[in-house]
Chains A and B, each alone.
Chain A
Amino acid sequence: MKDLLGWIGTLPPLAQIPIVVGLFLAAAVAIVLLIEVAPRPGRKFTIIRFAACLVIPAIVFLLLGSVWWAVAAAVVLGGLFFLLDYRSRQGKGYLFALVGFLAPAVVLLLIGLVYPSIQTILLSFQSNRGNWIGFDNFVWIFSQPHNLVVIRNTIIWVLVVPAFSTALGLAYAVFIDKSRGEKYFKILVFMPMAISFVGASIIWRFVYAYRPEGESQIGVLNGIVTLFGGEPVNWLQQVPLNSFLLMVVLIWVQTGFAMVILSAAIKGVPIEQVEAAQLDGTNAWQRFTNVTIPAIRPSIIVVLTTISIASLKVFDIVRTMGLAYPDTGVIANEMVTLLQKFESGRSAAFAVVLFLLVLPIVIYNARQIQKTREIR
């Protein structure tokens, strides 16, 4: 597996695409074919299932480069699984099919998200050399003024960006609703979504650019200021204004997202309700607050959640724009900076702080999902 990937890696980048995608799709089709034949009755298919239960774990572990006893253990587990499946209450092959559908995703999630999360929590209680040091990393975080600024900034980001993006997106969606050229209006505001944060940072650098007074300004903002006879301002040096100017970039990107989703939600509001309200003699604003808003509330919550998470994780903008300027740090960026200084313990502690900040959002949304699933 490693050798194969190593060989693919020597090819030119574009040539790697078809090979890798082809191999992957072949594996996926094999899995679906096995799922397909799994529940069929008859000895032939029982044998196929049995063989798959033994061979697949063996191949997987061999590809991973395991030692023999690990492969043997995997094969034994596969055999046990076959027996379990054979006696499954929903009929032979049901369990087999279920695992076929779910195993790839679950295994990857366990490796890539669950295991690292646990590992990070453990790391946060260790020094860089791996000694257990209790809460020292957290004490360090909350005792350094610089870190407190970072945490404060993160909290401001997560409060300001979702609120403004959603409000602007909603307002825009309402303004252009049913107007002529709605499609093009949408495209203009949605376009920043397609632009990377790195690209966005470079774009906005030319908005905030500063030249000393007397020179010709190359930044739009200072261009406007000097046009009206004002003195040019070095925007990104102004604390705390600079953090908000960076937030503007994320708002610029996320408003389009909010607008598209909310616009679709507005179109889903039952027209009868709107017309009934109209007959009752309500004005446009009353209809908006009493009919539209309640009807699109679920969508607003989804938008707020998504943007909150995006702003908690914001990293690229601060990294490419704010690094040279004072007091613009956020947790997500601080973690990477610490990591690059090999301060893994402190970086992990920051990760845990970030996770604790996200936790309320997770719990709230998990509850919502559970409710909708119960309704179903």
Chain B
Amino acid sequence: MTTSMTANPALPESAVKAVARRTKQRLTSRGATIAALVIAVLWTVPTVGLFITSIRPEVETQRSGWWEIFINPTVTLENYEAVLFGRDSLLGPFFNSIAISIPATVFPLVIASLAGYAFAWMKFKGRDVIFVLVFALQIVPIQMALVPLLSLFSRGITVGDGVLYEGLRNAGQFSQVWIAHTIFALPLAIFLLHNFISEIPSDVIEAARVDGASHGQIFFRIVLPLSMPAIASFAIFQFLWVWNDLLVALIFANGAAAPITRALAELTGEFGQNAELLPAGAFISILVPLIVFFALQRYFVRGLLAGSTKG
């Protein structure tokens, strides 16, 4: 295990690209190309089906499969109108999702980059043990933390007659969700950012230290700018996770604070009744992540690698 890990030195990106360009002209085997095409089509068809279903009139959807749009093209925006402005409008939950996702992305990133720096470049007793513990926390099932956290938020902590912590009852509609998401994101965020930050050449850090820079300066002037790619990519990641989350929303975001995933899940619960709204609703909920993903996918991939290929 250890040997194979050291035997995987990261090649400079330019060299990899040059090699890739050279070999690109070589013919890849036909069978492999066909297999890849089949997988690609299989992976795309369900999403395309949903999109087509969402723009077909309800009568048509009930009468025939979505693929018949190619025989009998009928297109309408009624479904979207109903979803956005109808009785069970998803517009409110949509904005709730934005209001939940953005702060829940910023908070863990800032906290984790501070902690990641300390784990990577400050020496203290038990550092490795604590770091492994933090990593291990990543695998604690979130469900396990939900009950106690919920009671902590709603009841606070009292010792005898004295209130140690008054809880978050009435403390704004989103505060519980923000805090919950922040906490649950931290282990992975610290792990990934630490990996990236510790890859910064130690010469750079040492040189700054010799020049008399303090840890605060090193963090602000060197580490933060250099690890921007990793931070940006994890930000995208975290945004998608929070946006797509249902579990935390189900427990912590009630009523008026419900994000779009929860609103959709509740629509799916009422069988038959709002069924025609589902495709359009689902597509609206997918839209933002898809835009984020397509616009920023370059960073996305880079960030995945920052933590993962190092093992």
Contact = CB atoms under 8 A, between A and B. Distances in A.
Interface of A: 1-2, 5-10, 12-14, 16-17, 20-21, 24-25, 28, 31-33, 35-40, 64-67, 69-70, 90, 97-98, 100-102, 104-106, 108-109, 111-117, 119-120, 123, 168, 171-172, 174-180, 185, 187-199, 201-207, 216-220, 223, 252, 255-257, 260-261, 264-265, 267-271, 284, 294-299, 301-303, 306, 309, 312-313, 315-316, 319-320, 323-324, 332, 335-336, 339, 344, 347-348, 351-352, 354-355, 358, 361-362, 365-366, 368-373, 375-376
Range class of the B interface residue count: 35 or more
Given A98-B124, A218-B61, A371-B1, A64 B141 contact: no
- Which 6 residue pairs across A and B have the least CB separation, nearest first? A9-B172, A36-B216, A112-B183, A65-B166, A196-B244, A13-B99
Interface stretch (B73-81, B82-90, B100-108): B100-108
A312 B36 contact: no
Contacts, number: 422
Interface string B168-184: 10111111001110111
Nearest to A365: B135
Interface in B260-310: 261, 264-265, 268-269, 271, 278-279, 281-283, 285-286, 289-290, 292-294, 297, 301, 304-305, 308-310
A3 to B, nearest CB: 8
B5 A332 contact: no
Interface string B118-151: 1000111000100110111111111111111100
Interface in B147-167: 147-149, 152, 156, 159, 162-166
Interface of B is mostly: helix
Contacts of B220: 32, 36
A316 B186 contact: no
Interface of A is mostly: helix
A98 B174 CA distance: 31
B111 A108 contact: yes
Given A218-B66, A220-B65, A268-B8, A198 B170 contact: no
B110 A24 contact: yes
Contacts of B111: 28, 104-105, 108
B276 to A, nearest CB: 12
A112 B309 CA distance: 28
A296 B37 CA distance: 24
Contacts of B140: 113, 117, 355, 358
A108 B183 contact: yes
A65 B168 CA distance: 10
B135 to A, nearest CB: 6
Given A172-B36, A298-B8, 6 more contacts: A67-B163, A105-B114, A116-B147, A194-B240, A313-B143, A372-B310
B8 A217 contact: no
B217 A309 contact: no
B311 A302 contact: yes
A2 B145 CA distance: 22
B148 A119 contact: yes
A268 B309 contact: yes
B228 interface: no
B173 A302 contact: no
Given A40-B214, A264-B301, A344 B147 contact: yes
Interface in B1-49: 1-2, 4-11, 16, 19-20, 23-24, 26, 28-29, 32-33, 35-36, 39-40, 43-47, 49
B205 interface: no
B247 interface: yes
A348 B164 CA distance: 25
Which of A31, A106, A204, A294 counts the most B-chain CB atoms under 10 A from its CB?
Answer: A106
Given A21-B102, A66-B163, A312-B141, A9 B147 contact: no
A268 B5 CA distance: 12
